[in-house]
Amino acid sequence: MTFLPEGQLYLAAVFLVAFLESLPVVGLLVPGSTLIVFAGFLVVHGQGNLLSLALWSMAGAFLGDLLSYELGRRYGSTILRLRIFQRYRRWVVESELFFVNHGGKSIFFARFLGPIRGITPFIAGLSGMPQRAFIGYTAVSAILWGISYPGIGYLGGSSWQKAQSLSARFGLVILLALLATIIHYLVKKKLDSNRQKY
């Protein structure tokens, strides 16, 4: 803690972590959720305050998602023409089709799932998801993320191991909610298909 910046500089660092984690490719290299949980843990030990931490986390996550979306919307097609992306073309096409039907749910859940967090807003922009809908979903997910991850660290403030355990449980809850959403969608699709047959 001796080497951590103080005041506005510390909050700027929190903002930057949340912002960078939301960008394609860069997001894979920045363990933003872990660092934000750790920042919440440090609040208990006198580093910053929880409200400011939550607000700057939300802002970083929201603006990072917006930039990722705009990159996909404006430059996505050009970027995907690069040779390195050609082998993944089929995956991108399937992702675009998925966004046509499930864009909102994807934006919401991706915020809490590390490996796809940065690329999901990019694909949303590339696939032409309406900007107003995107902003609505990403605002809700950024607010919940900005409250929950610093909050987990704060609640586990007596020990870092407790904070990590709470974080893992929260991740499991999100995963179960995602699985329930997928199962609901598949069952609904099957029922609709059966109705069309009759």
The 10s digit of each residue's pLDDT in 26-61 is 877 888 888 888 888 888 888 888 899 999 999 999
Q: Give the whole-angstrom CA distance, residue 126 versus residue 72.
A: 4
Q: Is 92 helix (H, G, I), strand (E, B) or coil?
A: helix
Instruction: With CA atoms as reference, report the closest residue to 133 among 102, 167, 169.
Output: 102
Q: What integer pLDDT is reported at residue 122 of this predicted model?
A: 86
Q: What integer pLDDT is reported at residue 138 of this predicted model?
A: 92
Burial of 113 (0-12, 13-18, 19+ CB in 10 A): middle
Please give the sequence-ordered ranges of beta strands (E in DSSP) within the chain, or none if there are none. Answer: none
Q: What integer pLDDT is reported at residue 194 of this predicted model?
A: 61
Q: Give the whole-angstrom CA distance, residue 105 versus residue 138.
A: 10
Task: Please check the confidence at residue 198 and state whether its pLDDT lies above 60.
Answer: no
Q: What integer pLDDT is reported at residue 64 of this predicted model?
A: 94
138 or 77, which is more confident? 138
* pLDDT (mean) for 79-96: 65
Give, in order, the Cα–Cα distances in Å from 71 to each of 75, 124, 142: 5, 10, 19
Task: Please check the confidence at residue 89 and state whether its pLDDT lies above 90.
Answer: no
Q: Give the whole-angstrom CA distance, residue 174 versus residue 171.
A: 5
* pLDDT (mean) for 148-175: 75
Q: Is 129 helix (H, G, I), strand (E, B) or coil?
A: coil
Question: Between vectors from CA 67 to CA 66 and to CA 71, what angle results, nearest 5°?
Answer: 120
Most confident segment among 8-17, 55-64, 156-165, 178-187: 55-64
Neighbours of 51 (CB within 10 A): 10
In the chain, the N- to C-terminal Cα span, in Å, equals 67
Q: Look at 70-74, 123-127, 185-189 and tell me which has the smallest mean pLDDT.
A: 185-189
In contact, 111 and 118? CB cutoff 8 Å: no
> What contacts 102, CB < 8 A, 6 or more positions away?
185
